[in-house]
């Protein structure tokens, strides 16, 4: 989606997450959101936003918080950002891509396909966050080392032990799939 000036009838502290989350509350944006983006209320983004919102004033150093922030990654003009910490006004005039904008189950992004192939999706709760983080990495470093991949997706997943997600990102890089 593209956030234009007249769409932003929002408060000074409205976060990007709230904007993406509630197109009905911000009717001016609703018409602009492409179908895929309108459903940008992904489980991951929303939960992390709520949780991070709860605790962010309390604790900027928390490892848990860092994990949660990584879960609700979005791209603002191609740069990864935590949707719950990005003020909506900062997204003015910029393009915002959420996991739904990256690919769908019918037309998946190559990174998503690589995740499915590698068996890297277990419960699936953090997978969108992992995929967006991987996308951000591959945009900057098309052929990352394993260590770079680990750095990029650190602190997110409670199911996989990271073996298969790392394999998936490396495979996607190998195939040039960014």
Partner 1 sequence: MTLRRASGEAPFAADLEKPGALHLAIRRSPLAHGRVVRTDGTSARSLPGVTLVLTPDDASGLLDPELRYVGDCAAVVVAEDAELARRRAKLVDLEVEPLVPVLDPDEASVDPARVLARVEVGAGDPTAEMARADRVVERTLCLPFVPAMSLEPSVALTWLDEDRRLVVRTSAESPFRVRGRLAERLGLPAARIRVARPLVAGGAARRASVSIEELCALVTLRTGRPARLALTMEEELVTAPGHPPQRVRVRVGLREGRITSLQVSVLADLGDASEGAEELLRSAGRQALGLYDVGHVAFEARAVRTHRPPTAAPRGADMGVGFALECAVNEAARALDEDPLAFRRPRLPGPREGLEGLGEAPDSLDPQPLALLVDAGARGGGWTAEAASALHAAGSRRARGVGLARRSTGTAAGAGAAASLRLLDDGSLTLAAAPSSAGGADETAYAEAAAEILGLPLRRVVPAAADTDSAPFQSGDPAPAFFATGRAVEEAASMMRQRILEEGARLLGMDPSGVTVNEGAVRDGAGRSVDYAAIGAAALRAGHPLAVTTSPSAVPAPCSSALVFAEVEVDEVTGVVRALGLQALLAGGPYADPRPAEGQAEGALAAAVELALAAGFSLDEAGRPAAHPLRHFSLVSAGDVPPLSVRFLPTGEPSSRFGAAAVGETAARAAVAAILGAVESAVGGRIDTLPATPPRVLEALEPADRR
Contacting partner 1 within 54-113 (CB under 8 A): 54-55, 58-59, 61-65, 67-68, 71, 98-100, 102-105, 108-109, 112-113
Verify binding: residue 16, partner 1, rule CB under 8 A.
no
Please, which contacts does 148-155 make with residues 24 or more away whose CB atoms are closer than 8 Å? 153/70, 154/70, 155/63, 155/66, 155/67, 155/70
Strands (E), the chain: 73-76, 79-82, 96-97
Per-residue x/- marks for partner 1, 118-137, CB under 8 A?
xxxxxxxxxxx--x------
Residue 77's region, left for phi above 0, alpha for psi from -120 to 50, else beta, is left
Using the minimum distance from each CB to partner 1, give the nearer residue, 93 or 140.
Answer: 140
Verify binding: residue 41, partner 1, rule CB under 8 A.
yes
Q: How far is the CB of 100 from partner 1 (least distance, A)?
A: 6
Cα separation of 174 and 178, whole Å?
A: 10
Task: Give the interface segment with partner 1, choosing from 2-10, 11-19, 80-88, 117-125 (CB under 8 A).
Answer: 117-125
Q: 3-class SS at 135? A: helix
Q: Strand pairing partners for 2?
A: 95
Contacting partner 1 within 146-175 (CB under 8 A): 150-151, 153-164, 166
Q: Total residues contacting partner 1 (rule CB under 8 A)?
A: 62
**Beta carbons within 8 Å of 133's beta carbon, 6+ residues apart:** 70, 73, 80, 152, 153, 156
Residues that bind partner 1 (CB under 8 A): 39, 41-47, 50-51, 54-55, 58-59, 61-65, 67-68, 71, 98-100, 102-105, 108-109, 112-113, 115-116, 118-128, 131, 150-151, 153-164, 166
């Amino acid at each position: 989606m593209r956030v234009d000036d007249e769409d932003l009838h929002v408060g000074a502290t409205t976060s990007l997450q709230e904007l993406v989350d509630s197109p009905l509350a911000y009717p001016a944006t609703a018409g602009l959101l492409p179908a895929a983006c309108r459903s940008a209320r992904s489980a991951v983004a929303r939960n992390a936003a709520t949780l991070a919102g709860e605790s962010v004033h309390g604790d900027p150093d928390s490892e848990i918080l860092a994990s949660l922030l990584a879960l609700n990654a979005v791209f603002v003009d191609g740069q990864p950002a935590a949707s719950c910490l990005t003020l909506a006004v900062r997204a003015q005039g910029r393009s915002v891509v959420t996991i739904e904008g990256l690919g769908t189950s019918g037309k998946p992004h190559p990174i998503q396909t690589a995740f499915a192939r590698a068996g890297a999706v277990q419960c699936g709760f953090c997978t969108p966050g992992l995929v967006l983080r991987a996308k951000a990495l591959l945009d900057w470093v098309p052929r990352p080392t394993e260590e770079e991949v680990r750095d990029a997706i650190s602190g997110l997943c409670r199911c996989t032990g990271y073996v298969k997600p790392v394999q998936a990102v490396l495979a996607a890089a190998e195939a040039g799939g960014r």
